[in-house]
Structures are given as structure tokens and as C-alpha cells.
Structure 1
């Protein structure tokens, strides 16, 4: 009885405290007055901040209302998410600055130009601060705090706020992930009890798959600052490069039993390209956060757990661009109030901490303005002086056979405002041929020199063996493009101002056949359209020469006769396909080749129209599944049925030619397992990734042998235990493989070497028959990133791919993600080859 009374008392206390915490006075400084003409969040969204999780539409409504009411704020709509939600940006400064915003912006950019920045008087320049919130949708305290920040900056009165706004341009990004925020707010709100339930087992704290962390395609947007593959990222990168802010804050949440983190992170894991002074300034800014959190009694920690290595995160991207990136991590209530080891954690409390550190950032910006502006100027002046000593004068990259991949890497450079040029004439460097029409060259003598180095370098030496994120991301390796570092600028040609991907075409009309090589990135997009429209097509299993052209393995043949379209209709259709897929389709008049197989050979195998499904839901990695969905839907315009594992037992799967299992920890009952096996045996192609590889092996879909790694923990103290274990993780590095180009899984690849990304410790021993090992790790495989010596030794000579027959079907496995974060263009075609050519393997 006493326990029941105590529980009722606790619940009652939680509700009373939670209600008290909903008052604006709980969050806002009370030593200033507020303009009554500025709408409070509650007056627009219909509830107090923290009473409910704000939905994105209400967040947008408030931001537009406060901007309309204040001459300190201008609002910009920078585009839409995949779900058509607006990507708002509020620019907040003094009314006088608002009238001269473009002039201030252009003048601020001069600080990054070593030719112009010496004459600037930084004491008279405003500082630029970019404050971004809730890039992970289920870390909502930041986005909710952004309303309080907008209100405070619009409504606060007095000399201090006037001084701040006169000397600061604040770029407020209220929701870095609108789709994820909306998904999570819906979940938290529909599961909220009127009398708050703090039991961590309650449904409110456990989202259904895929959760609100991700965007529409389940991407972690905080890993996309450098690749810039998603609309949310492209909007914020454009804002960043247009302004080049001095400080960028990134407001996150972490586990509920945690307190509050602000940077600096672990010092031994700072990327070597980041200046030491960057970390010193980060620490100095941190003192302002500590003072503010001390004042309200909030616990916090620094220099633990998080690092500043991968430049693709919001807190590190500024560091390679002359700014200071700051990560905030608030212990998450995951709902409205939850019991934790630190007591009851309420949603309003988490919001207050985020708002408090948003203000302490601005306090630091005000006090450190000249110091931070001088740091930014010195960063680019120092870069300029180092350029003269840099022996690498330019970097050239390209592919004669794949214009699309070359274009997409160039597009990333353009997004980051890195200058690149055409080459003057064809030349050879490092054993690779670079053609004038299919290559670009980047001079290193430009202000983004450090960013260029970060994107193109291959790094295999590190001061620390632990990484919060990936340790290798070399872009030309990710794109599988030839590239070379040059010690001369002599091949630098015309500056590329208007980047365009060359449109495709059909060389000529034919009454006999059309040929399409498989090298181009968008060849699968073209083939899918052809097959989906009922056009017969075949794939060449061998090389041949026709009309003086050497055709490679995987060339697609489209006969003209006996098609459902007549000769003229087929030509018109293929013209449209070629144009929209940016490929060349060649019309030929004879099937007699000068070398190799003729066009009527049995070594041209008929292709089946693909109908593909992918398992999603409980046990499946959302990010891995999302990357595959995005690849199909956005890149190749192919339908992909997302088949929930809980529906698999009831679904009619006989219609599918392929089923993909992303990385997962599946638990299927015997009936469903047998159903899947029967589908494969009747001719289906089952494709498994990462953790699914061992699941498929243990459930006897495929017979594999694995290389096991044993590491003895000798002379390791208890304190060192965690770091020792962490050093055995392959957090994300790049490795060299050797290809058998005659195997259909490798059709479209022109080299016998392929860089592959790896994050797993799944080491498959090669098959006893060498022809069953079409992709093989070399004996010196490490190209970029970190791997421990025991893991590296185990990796050598193993295989990242296997495919084996099961009845009339095939089971194919990849040990690692071939579609990583949407920028690993170089291995996307491996999955497509398994889809289209699996029956030929």
C-alpha cells in the first residue's frame, strides 16, 4: 500500500513539475523585458512549448509569424524535403543590418579571400553564427528550443540584445530534418498519456520501425554534409557556402541516462587538417556553456565519447572551412517525461538546456567576435602561404567510359564552391589516361584547399585507433574514378562555370539491332525501362568487335525484329530512353562481328523483366534499407516493393524475381523460412547484405566458411578495456579488391581493381574454385582509413561477395554495403548486376 501511495505521489509530482516547466519564465532570461507585439510560440502553435512535441507544420507557422512581426527577422524558403516540407532559414540581426544584408554577406566573404582580407577591419565586422536544430528527427528538444530562440531574439529588449544583433548575423535553421521531426512528433504525441507515464517501458518511448531519426529515405542527415546527396543537405550547404559562418552549432540528443555534452570532443581524434587553434577556441566557447549550465544546475561533460574526425558531420564540416563547429548532445526524454538514473527527465528540461546553450553560443560570439573573425582570416591566409609550398598543384579525375560518375563527383565540388576546370588536352598520368571531354582538373591553389585535401586524400596513419564515425572516405575511390595528383598546373584549362551532364542519344536508326554498353552509371536505368516496356533484350557474356568498336562484357543487345514495337516506334522509344538515361545506344546493321561472338550467339543471354522486393521492418537496418530504396527510386527510377517482415508470411512473393535483405537480425518462423526457401528454389534471386550474410548461412540458404579473428588482450588494464575493444571495430575504411571482369557481377567495370567500402568483420573464405571468387581482396588491400593489424591480416585474400545456386534460384551475399550513404557510386552497379544478371551467374 505504501508503494502505491509513493508511486501516486511521484506521478502527481511529475505532472506538477512538468506543468510548472511549461511557463516561458522557466526557459527565458528574466532580467530583460519582452516586446508584447511579438507573438509567443503558444499563441501560434496552440500549446505551451514542451506540452506537446511540436509538429513541423506548426513550427513553420510560428517561424513565419515571428518573422512577419519583427523587423529583426527575414525568412527564406530554400526548397523542399522529399515529403515536400519547406526548408526554412531565418536570418536574424538588427533592422539596420537587415537593410544591408547582401552587402554584409559579400563583405564577410572577403575574409576568406587571401587577396582581399588583409585590408578588412574585423573590429567593424559582424560575426556570422549558424544555429541548426534536430538533424535527427527523434532528437526534438533542439527544434522545440528553436521557437524560444526565435522569440527571444525577436522580442527581447535592452542594450545587450541590441549590441548582439548589431554585431551578429544569426542564421537560424529550426529543423534540419523536417520529415523525421514530423514522424517522431506524431509518435510521441499519439502515445502521450494525460497523466504522464514515466515508465521507460511505455510505448511512448519506443518508436516503431524505422523511427524518426532519419529523413524520408531513412538517411542519417548528419553524415551528409560532405557528400551532399540529399535535398536537406544541399540547402544547408548552400547557406553555409553563401555565408561561411564563424560558428555553427548542431543540437542533438543522446541516450536518456546521459546528461549534456558540448564540444570539444576527444582531442586525440581531431582530424589533422583541423588547426590546433580551432580546438582552443572551441574550449573557450565551451566556458560560456559551462557557466550558463552551472547557473541553471544542469550536469554536463566534455572531451569524451565524441570526436572531430569525419568532416561529413555538422560539428566538423565548419572546422575544415575556417569556422568552429560545435556539437551539443542532450540526454533525451524520448517523449514527455521519463524515469532515468538521473531522476525524472522532462521534455521541457531538455528544451531548456538546448535553449540555454543556444544563448551561451551567442554570448560567446558577442565576446569573442574579433578573435573569431581574425581566426577565420588567418585560416585562409595560412592556407594561401602553404599553397606556395604545396608540391601538389592540381588533381585530375575522370572516366572515359562513365561520364555520369564523373559529373556527379564534379557536382559535389560545385556544391562546396570548389573551382575545377576542363583539361587542355588528353594526357596520361600515373598510368591512367585522362581525356579532354571526360575529365576535370582541380587546382589546389584556391581557398578551399583544405577541403579538397580532405575529400581526396588517402590516409592510413592515425594517432588514435577509435573513431566515432568512418575513418576513410576518399571521394575518387568512392566513385571508382581514375585520379592523379599533379605537380604542375600546365594541363589546367577553361574554368567550368556551367556544369552539365551530357544528354544521351541513339547513333542511328537500325532495322537490325541496337547495342548499349554497360559502363555508364545510368545503364541500369535504361535497361529497366526497356524491359519494363516489354522490349526483348539480351546481355553479351563475352567481348566482341563490330564496325571497329570493341564491345565489353555485359553489352546489351536489343534486336529490332519480333518486338512489340515496329522499327520506327522502337527507334523513337530508344531515343527517349538514351536521352533520359544519359547513355549512348548504337544502331548496327549486321550481326557479323570481326572478332568475338556474333550477335546471334548463344552467349547473348535473354534477360527477364525485374520485379524486386526488399525486406523492411523489425530487425532490418533502416539506413541500409533506405539507401537501397533511394538508389532504386531516385537514381534508377525502378520500383522496389518494401515488404515488411511481419507481412512476409502472408505475402504472395511468387511475383518477384529478386528479394533483397539489407543488414538485419532477422527472426522468421519455420513456415516463413520455408516459404522463402521454396521461392528461391523455384528461381528467385535472394540478395543479402552484411549481418544477413551469416543469417543466410546459418539457415542453410548458402554454404560459406568464415575467417575468424582472435585477439589476445595482453597487458590491457580494466581502464583500457573499452578502447582495446573499440580498436578492433572496422568503423569504415576503403580496401582494394581484384575483379574477374568476365563474371557477370562485374559487368560494366573497366579495371581489374575496385575500391570497396567496409564496416563489418565478416570475412568469407574464398571458394575452392577460383571462378567462384569474382571479387577478391588483394594481399595489400588497405587504401584509406583505419583497420587493426589482426583484422587486416584476416581480410587479405577473403571475398566480399559470393553467389551460389539453390535449386533453380540463386543466393548472393555482400559482406558490406555497396550503396553507402548514397555517395558510394563506384559499387552501386554490383547490386544492379545481381538483379539483372543473377540468373547468368
Structure 2
């Protein structure tokens, strides 16, 4: 009988909730003691419903924000660009009418706080700047939907309180950090919404199809891209940040449905050491305003028991290394319109109200702490300059000018002062040459940011990390670097960065040669092969009278091509200019080392590539590869859905890529189909936990190290931390390279920094030539690894290659394309693609 009563009560609560949705009013969200200007349209007047009744799509969001800017003198609207799918990246600047009229001067005055001589800046009347950003994860939509209410409130609220707030505050209001992901999720939630709201967590509404709405177009987690800034959404918000240097930046997220609401600070021991202690003190003070607001609302919350402030590539942590205060908000997610949880029925409107409340409490804190925050920012940059040590940073690569250039691009995006190397110099055995190297002065505003980007850290207060523990940018880009350079070797500060200059291609009647060192070399080779031209790869070194050519150099004969000599010259010149890469004319085959007619020049074929995507596949890993081919190298890649794999014609592909998965991506029948394709000559390239798939299905013989770590003197309370500390959240390790092996073609050093976030350790082969990439005996370069795992990783191998019939199976233990900024190992994948048949 009790179960029947419980069921009836549940049905009644769901029915009541459906009625609540029908009668939902904007008054549910808004403060009770404030009047609103009737000339300002409410959200429902433009989008067609009260926020919370449905999920707002990005187009409707844009319509409302555009209308507000048209009618409200408190708002100016800026379109800072578009996403990959062409959606606008809007920014609303919200303040008093007087401030909006003088916004450029206010911005210049505010930026003076971060410049030299800031002690002379008068802050008595200076507004505080708050950057409020919503829903960087598209399927965490309560933030963006709360932005509708917040924007209305800021535009329409009347009275002395709002006038004082707007007079003393500049609000940089980004209503959707991730337009493409938001649109994807809104479509899903709305198309699966029932008239009778169904809160059953098993309903289709709460089970998105792959890849879900969390990510952007290429399936990136945009909240990991604040520091690398590789994606258009990130570049827009980074420009806004550095144009203003806000005092507070808020980042509105969602978490598991059975939780409550989180605001920072996070776990104190997991704060990056470069973040000043005062930053966390101010964060706690701001938190008091959130607590007071939530207490009045009756909403539960927690703080300082989860999340962290370590990786500076997250939205709530990036501000902390830039003189600002980053605040993370995490709201328990309804993942649709209403859902049963451990805490009762969780409705979408309730989540919106909490996010709106946090937005207002942030502004209240900023207004009351204005002088304190402005002084903190001024002192942060003053102290940064004073902490600069001797020498200057420098980085570069004489054989890969484009990788150095791409790193310099990131520096410029963050308004870091950089200079070109004008006088060649050598430091620590590395040579830095004009045209491929840069110098970064230490005595500059962004000193701490550069230090955070360049540091190598292996000592930590805590052993658990919410994200990666290392991201040393010169190692990620595989460029040489030092902190002992001199500005005496530098040219004038770069105002507008230009691509490296390349020599003009000279015409040849014999052959053209392109070294494989440059980052853009795969793009050039793909253009050549796509044109139907013959090209060969050098398996040994060779040289002409003027140049030495390394393993992996590409030779394009002039004779017996589909183009005549002039047409070939014109096309090669076009390839060089388009790829910004040097291609040499060679007039004789009588070269030192191997000759151009040698059998050690092996033919290359145009590659047809596919990647397995869909249910069971990790979207991040797949998206990074899709982005690499599509955006960096202009190489077509087919996305094969696991759902339709059985019907796909695999014979057209030379290479298929299988990335990490959370369960078996292919069933037994599809696995047999894949094996047949490999036996017939295909190359399978697999990553990370695909090791289980490879070994189970006898595709590759991998000797995986077993790990038996016993918990001794570990309490029940400590058990999660103990096992969590055995993971590798993301660290950097050094490996030895056999540069004569095709997988290592294009690398100039016999050592390479590899990013790793798995604990799959593969035993080395007995034959040393089968270990072209092998971790050293002391491999940790930067980041956290437990003592036990540090012993296990020594001398293991992150790469294996095997054969099956006429085909190949290639395996990497870790992601060579991590978050689009690990440029230094992208070439490993490209080598597997172009040279897999020659390994």
C-alpha cells in the first residue's frame, strides 16, 4: 500500500510540475521589491515563452539580446566573430547610460591599472569590471537561460540600487560561451519534451544522442581552451579579457543532478602555487555574498570540498594568473525540464533561478568590494614586474619555423610582449636563429602568465587534480627554449606577427625535395598526392652540394608526372606558398648518401582516411583528430558511425582510426569486418584504451604491465584519494627516438616530450629496433605521477606496430593530438598515416 501512495504522490508532483510550467511567470526569478521599466521587452515577448518553459535556442537568444541593445541605453552589443557553424559570438557591455557613452575612455583608464606607472592611477571613481559568462558546456543550459533573466533585469530594473550598481560597474556579458553546443542541446531537450513533463531520468529527454551538446562543433571542451586559445570561441573571449582585464570573471556550469550548487573557492590544497594567497581570500569574501543570497532563497550549496584552481586553461582559473578573480558556479542539472533526484524533483526553472541569483550576488560583491578588487589588480601586475629575474625567455626551432610561429601566435593572443631574434645565439647547446626564434622579456605585464605557460613542475602539495597537472608550452610545441636569453639579440617588439618567410621555389628539370621537419609538411604532401603526382620518401639521409636532407624528406621527380615541367613548377610553387614551407629544386641525382634513384626512396600513395565515431567513442579524442585533419592540414577524413559500420564499404579507405572508447565500440561482427579489411592491406591506427580491443581480438600482441598496488594504512575516508592519486590526470614524459624509423621522421632530436593521461604501460620489445619510441629511465619532465606509477613507466613504450595479413596495426598509448595545442606530437599521427606501409 505504501508503494502505491508513493507512486500517487510522485504522479501528483509531476502533474503539478507540468501545471507549474504552463503558468510559470518571470516573477518566479526576479527580486520581489524592484519595479521594471515597461518599455523594456521581457524575454517571453521576443523568444515566445517564459525562460524555463522551454530551452532557449541560440538564434532566439540572439534575437532577444539584439532587441535589448536596440531599446536600452544601458547596453551596447558587439559581434566578435562566429563559431565554426557560423553563429555569432555576442558580447553585451552593460552599465549606466553615462558609462556606455564614455566606454572607450573608461576602458583605457581601467587598463592603465595593469601598466607600468599604475600607482598614479586614481581609482576613487573607477568602475569595477565584471565578465559574466554562461554555459561554456552547451548541455549545461541553466546558465544561458538565466542570462535571459539577468539581461532583462539589468536593462529594465529601476531604483537607486540598480543605478548605483550600474554607475560603479562595467558588466561584460557573454550570454553563451558555446553557441553551437547550446543549439545542439536545446534542439534535443525541446524535441523530446512532453506536454506532461516527465521527470523519469530514464526518459529519452535525459539521454542525449552522441556526442551530446557539451562540446563545440569539433567536439572540444571549450572550458579547457582558455590558455591554448585554439578555437574561435576561445579567441573571442580571450580578446575581450585582454581588452579589459576584468576584476571578476564568472563561469556558470552544471554538475550531476543529485548534487546542489557549488561556488568557489575549491579545495585549497589544489590551488596553483603561482596564484597569490590574496586571490583565494578575495574569492572567499565574494563567496560570502553567494552564501547570503542562497540562504535567503533557501537553496542548498557547498564550497571548498570539490573542484580546484590548478590548470590555468579553465575559465575559473585563467583569471587567477591574470590579476583577476575567477569564480566557478556548478548547478545540479535537470538535463532537461525536470528530473527526479535524491533531493526531490529538480526543475529547469529552479536551476535557472539559482544561476540568476549567483549572477546578482556576484555583482553585489563586485560593487561593495570595488576598491579592494581594483587595488588587488594593480598590485598583481606591479608585483609581477618586480618578480622578474635575470635573463629573458626565448624559444624557436631552426628546422620548424612554423611551430615556433604558432606558439608565438598564442603569446600575441594573450598580449604578451615578444621580439624576433635578430642575432643568432646559442644557449644550453641550442641555437636560436632569425626567422624561426623569438625572445620574451621577463620584465613585462604578463610575466606571471608566461611563467605559468613555460614552467616545469614536478612537486605538488596535493596528489589529486580536477584536470591536467602539466602543460609546458615549449614542450607541447617541441621547440627549443631557455630562460637565459638576452634582449641584445632581439629586434623591436612585434606589433603584428607575420608568418615566417620562405625562400622562393626555383625551377628544376630534375626533382624537388621537401624536408619533413616543418609542422606544415603533411599539408604540403597531401596537396601533392591529391594532385596525382608521384612522390617518394627518403628512408636514409642524403645531401646535395648546398643542403643536407634528413630521414623522411620527400622527393618529387620532374619526369614522368601528369604535369609538364612548367605546370609542375607552378604547382610546387603554389604548394610552398599555401603551406608556407620551403621546397628545394635539385638538379642532379648524384647526391651524397643515397642517390635520388636509390631503392631507399619509397613510393607514397594518396591516403583515404576514416575515423570511427558515434556511441561508445570518446568525442574529445575523435574531435581533436577531425579538427587536425580538417582545419590544420586540409585533409579529408570520413567519420564512420558505429551505428552504420556494418553497412560501410571499407575498401575505399587506406587508414581507419580508432580512438578511446568507454565501452566496446564495435561488436563481434563488425570487428571481424575490420580484421578482414586489415588483412587486405588496410592500416588501423588505435589510441589509448583501444589496447583492450586490440589484445582481446588478437589484432596486436601487447605486453601490458600489470599493476598491483595495495592500500596499507589507508582509512575508508581516504580510499578514494589513495586510488585517485594513482591516476595520471595529465603529465609530460620524455622518450628516446630512433630517428631512422618512419614513425619518428621529421624530428631533429633523439628525445621527444610526450603528453600522457593514461596508466597503460607497454613492455618494450626484445628487438630494440621495434622500440622506436621508448620512455627513458627517468622520464618525468613536468606534472604529477605517483612514485609507484613512476617506477612502472620507466623504459616502457608508448607506440607499437604490428602486421595482420597484408595490413598494419599501429597503436599509441596516449593522445598525440591533445586539445589541439600539442603540436609537437601531431606529426606522429601523420607519420602513421603517410608512412605506415613502410614501417
TM-score by length of 1: 0.98
1:637 to 634, 644, 648: 634
Residues 695-739 of structure 1: per-residue CA shift (max 9 Å, x gap): 112111101101122222111111111111111110000000000
Which whole-Å CA distance do the structure 2 matches of 1:175 and 1:503 have between them?
39
Give SS of 1:646's match: helix
Give SS of 2:678's match: helix
Residues 127-174 of structure 1: per-residue CA shift (max 9 Å, x gap): 000000000000000000001111000000000100110110000000
> Partner of 1:16 in structure 2?
19
Residues 596-618 of structure 1: per-residue CA shift (max 9 Å, x gap): 11001111101111000000001
Residue 228 (structure 1) aligned with residue 226 (structure 2) = no
Residue pairs, 1:226-375, within 5 angstroms: 226-375=227-376
1:471 to 469, 476, 490: 469
Residue pairs, 1:361-510, within 5 angstroms: 361-387=362-388, 390-391=389-390, 393-486=391-484, 488-502=486-500, 504=502, 506-510=504-508
> Partner of 2:173 in structure 1?
172
Residues 41-77 of structure 1: per-residue CA shift (max 9 Å, x gap): 0000011110100000000000000111100000000
Residue 65 (structure 1) aligned with residue 62 (structure 2) = no
Give SS of 2:646's match: coil
Residues 484-534 of structure 1: per-residue CA shift (max 9 Å, x gap): 111654333321112111355553111111111101101000100111110
Give SS of 2:108's match: helix
- C-alpha root-mean-square deviation of aligned residues, in Å? 1.1
Compared with structure 1, are the counterparts of its residues 2 and 264 closer, same or farther at alpha carbon in structure 2 (3 Å cutoff)?
Answer: closer
Q: Can you give the 5+ residue segments of structure 2 that lack an aligned partner in the other structure?
A: none
Give SS of 1:647's match: helix
> Partner of 1:90 in structure 2?
92
Residue pairs, 1:579-728, within 5 angstroms: 579-593=577-591, 595-664=592-661, 665-728=663-726
Mapped contact 1:506–1:574 kept (Cα < 8 A): no
Q: Can you give the 5+ residue segments of structure 1 that lack an aligned partner in the other structure?
A: none
Give SS of 2:776's match: strand
Which whole-Å CA distance do the structure 1 matches of 2:588 and 2:620 have between them?
47
> Partner of 1:808 in structure 2?
806
Give SS of 1:649's match: helix
Which whole-Å CA distance do the structure 2 matches of 1:420 and 1:467 have between them?
32
Which whole-Å CA distance do the structure 2 matches of 1:57 and 1:465 have between them?
44
Give SS of 2:488's match: coil
Which whole-Å CA distance do the structure 2 matches of 1:733 and 1:412 have between them?
21
> Partner of 2:570 in structure 1?
572
Which whole-Å CA distance do the structure 1 matches of 2:273 and 2:11 have between them?
55
- Report the CA distance between 1:2 and its aligned residue: 5.0
> Partner of 2:50 in structure 1?
48
> Partner of 2:528 in structure 1?
530
Mapped contact 1:505–1:579 kept (Cα < 8 A): no
Mapped contact 1:709–1:790 kept (Cα < 8 A): no
Which whole-Å CA distance do the structure 2 matches of 1:696 and 1:506 have between them?
47
> Partner of 2:131 in structure 1?
130
Mapped contact 1:18–1:346 kept (Cα < 8 A): no
Structure 1 residue runs of 4+, over 4 Å off? 1-4, 503-506
Give SS of 1:643's match: strand
Q: Which piece of structure 1 moves more, 490-499 or 35-44?
A: 490-499
Which whole-Å CA distance do the structure 2 matches of 1:122 and 1:434 have between them?
44
Which whole-Å CA distance do the structure 2 matches of 1:669 and 1:84 have between them?
37
Q: Which piece of structure 1 moves more, 556-565 or 623-632?
A: 556-565
Which whole-Å CA distance do the structure 2 matches of 1:424 and 1:526 have between them?
28
Residues 90-129 of structure 1: per-residue CA shift (max 9 Å, x gap): 00011111111010000000111132x1112222100000
Residues 282-307 of structure 1: per-residue CA shift (max 9 Å, x gap): 00000000011111110000001100
Mapped contact 1:424–1:494 kept (Cα < 8 A): no
Give SS of 1:123's match: coil
Which whole-Å CA distance do the structure 2 matches of 1:213 and 1:398 have between them?
36
Q: Which piece of structure 1 moves more, 481-490 or 71-80?
A: 481-490
Residues 724-778 of structure 1: per-residue CA shift (max 9 Å, x gap): 1111110000000000000000000000000000000000001111101000000
Which whole-Å CA distance do the structure 2 matches of 1:424 and 1:11 have between them?
71
> Partner of 2:36 in structure 1?
34
- Report the CA distance between 1:547 and its aligned residue: 2.4
Residue pairs, 1:745-784, within 5 angstroms: 745-784=743-782
- Report the CA distance between 1:7 and its aligned residue: 4.2
Q: Which piece of structure 1 moves more, 378-387 or 462-471?
A: 378-387
Which whole-Å CA distance do the structure 1 matches of 2:723 and 2:268 have between them?
19
Residues 681-704 of structure 1: per-residue CA shift (max 9 Å, x gap): 111000000011221121111011
> Partner of 1:197 in structure 2?
198
Which whole-Å CA distance do the structure 1 matches of 2:50 and 2:537 have between them?
63
Which whole-Å CA distance do the structure 2 matches of 1:488 and 1:554 have between them?
35
- Report the CA distance between 1:424 and its aligned residue: 3.6
> Partner of 2:210 in structure 1?
209
> Partner of 1:517 in structure 2?
515
Give SS of 1:33's match: coil
- Report the CA distance between 1:796 and its aligned residue: 0.4
- Report the CA distance between 1:566 and its aligned residue: 0.8
- Report the CA distance between 1:445 and its aligned residue: 0.3
Which whole-Å CA distance do the structure 2 matches of 1:617 and 1:447 have between them?
45
Mapped contact 1:400–1:434 kept (Cα < 8 A): yes
Which whole-Å CA distance do the structure 1 matches of 2:469 and 2:597 have between them?
49
> Partner of 2:113 in structure 1?
111
